[in-house]
Structure formats: structure tokens, C-alpha cells
Amino acid sequence: MLTDRVRERVLEVLSGQTTGVPEYVLELSRGNDAGFFPEGSAVWEVHRDISTLVAGPRALLVQALHPGAMAGVHDHSRYREDPFGRLNGTIRWITTVTYGSTEQAIGASRWVHRLHEKVQGTYTGPDGEARAYSAQDADLVTWVHLAFADSFLRSFQRFSGRPIPGGPDAYVRDWAIAGELMGVPDPPRSLAELEARLDAIWASGILRADERVRDAVRFIRRPPLPALLKPSYPVLFGGAVATLPPQARALLDLPAPSPVVEAGTKAVLAATRRLLGEAAAPQQARRRLAALAA
């Protein structure tokens, strides 16, 4: 059936295989504690929602505006040659930190740290001078964390149709744990702190959109998806753009979508939710929790 083929293609893009249950997800059923985020917590609920399909592209668009982050992607990432391999790696980290045991979450973060050890080089700062960067620099890991938290929060609020358990502050506070695992110094622990940190970076003048950024935006806008998924992706991309702050859209030269785009995004997400059903990672985490309770 066509729906089966579409489902397989979606799972292949997101997990690297048509079953959607890679070995690292199966590992979530094992472990000796409940992990950092309890079932039903803000992080648990936000990350299991289908709105993450909008949050992902949004986070990439925002992160690309920092010239240090963009230099790391341009100089070291194989996103053009293996875009879904990079995506699968990011999803693996998010999934393991969210639904894994404490040991698994720490291990996944150390794995990312090892990958980032060689990511270093130079970029041109706003003053025109060359600046050295490393993917582990405090300002870069902070920017990535802020962009991630803001994107997943805003996308959930706009498209999930559900309240966040404990409210937005609970999500920002709890996801600060992930920031600490990645070396973020003093990550924000409330929505007000998150917004203040983002405003300060915008005011610094460091964010910009050069040809590297424009090239990345073109790629994010039209990734090499399987043919069956190409008709729906522009709607999701439009939903991501709709949640961006005006200054980000201005730098990225992306006009604000019409209200019709938001309705279309909600429709595509609802259809995808019905197609995929419950994600495998929370199911495996519940098995671990049940075993621990027993």
C-alpha cells in the first residue's frame, strides 16, 4: 500500500532503517535507573511529539546564523554527502538523552564530544578579523543549545495542540541538564532566561547570513528526500519559518508565510502522527521503567 511505503520512507529518513527501531533505541529498554527525565515530564512530552519534524529544520536555520557554528558545519560536516546520516546521529543523541538511563545519556553525550574534538578552524568575526573556533567552545555549544531549546519549545507550542507539562519553564529548566552534558556553562533554566540569552546574542551583532548560510538554507529548504516525501516537506519547512523571530527571517531572507501555511503544517503533522503512531523510544523506555518497578 502507498501508506506503508510512505511510512517506510519517513522512518528511513529519521532512523536509518524502514522499521524505525535501530539498536540504540532497543537499548533504551535496558538500564539501571529512570534517567534524567521522568515519563510525562516536559522534555519527555515535547520530544515525543510530531512537532519535532518542524523543530529540527527550525533549529538548523537558527544555528546557521552564528558564523562559528556555520564554519564548523561548512568545514567539517558531510551534510551534503550524507545528510540523513548526520540527522540520524543528532536524533540518536536527543533520543538517548531524553529516554535513556543516566549512564546511556552520559555515554551518548561523550560520543558527541568525541566527534566534536576535531571540529576546529577559523571564521571571520563581525570586526573582520579571523577568529579561531572549536566545536567545544562555550559560546558555540551555548548557541546550539539555545537554538535547540527555543526551536523545540516554539514548535511544540505552535503545532502540538497540547500544553507542556509544568509549562515552558519546566521544559527549559529540565533541558538545561542536556546543556550541561554538552558543556554549556550555566544554561538557562526558565523561559525568561532563555529569551534574555537569545536577545543578548542578537544584540551582540555576531549573527549574520553570508553565502555559506544562504547555501545551507537552500539545502535545508530542498533536501534530497525520497520522492514520496517531497510533496509534504515544503509545508513543514514553511511551518518552521513561521515560528522564526522576525530578525531571523530578515537575515535569512525568508518572508513570513501566510496563515494558510500554519494550517497546512498542522494537517501534515496530524497525518504523519496517524501514519507513524507512537514513537519506539518512549515505548522502550517504558519497558525499562516497568522492569525497574518490578
Which position has the higher pLDDT, 122 or 2? 122
> According to the model, what pLDDT value does residue 20 have?
64
**Average pLDDT over every residue of 243-270:** 94
Phi-psi region at 253: left, alpha or beta (left = phi > 0; alpha = psi -120 to 50) = left
Give the chain's mean pLDDT: 92
Nearest Cα to Cα of residue 155 among 87, 234, 242, 285: 242
**Average pLDDT over every residue of 149-169:** 97
SS3 string, 148-203, reads: HHHHHHHHHHHHCCCCCCCCHHHHHHHHHHHHHHCCCCCCCCCHHHHHHHHHHHHH
**Average pLDDT over every residue of 111-116:** 90
Cα 23 from chain centre: 21
H or E element, residue 134: strand 130-134
pLDDT digits (tens, 9 = 90+) for 197-214: 999 999 999 999 999 999
Nearest Cα to Cα of residue 282 among 87, 10, 13, 47: 47
Number of Cβ within 10 Å of residue 113's Cβ equals: 15
Instruction: Kindly tell me the burial class for residue 9, based on how many C-beta atoms sit within 10 Å of its own C-beta (0-12, 13-18, 19 or more).
Output: middle
> According to the model, what pLDDT value does residue 5 have?
85
Share of the chain above pLDDT 70, in %: 98
In angstroms, what CA-CA distances link 197 with 108, 145, 245? 26, 11, 14
Q: What confidence category does residue 280 fall into, taking pLDDT thresholds of 50, 70 and 90?
A: very high
Under 8 Å between Cβ of 209 and 65: yes
Secondary structure (DSSP) of 37-95: S-TTSHHHHHHTSTTHHHHHHHHHHHHTTSHHHHHHHHHH--TTTSHHHHHHHHHHHHH
Is residue 124's pLDDT more than 90? no
Domain region containing 129: 2-16+23-293
Share of the chain above pLDDT 90, in %: 73
Instruction: Tally the domains of the chain.
Output: 1
- Which cell goes with 103? 549512564
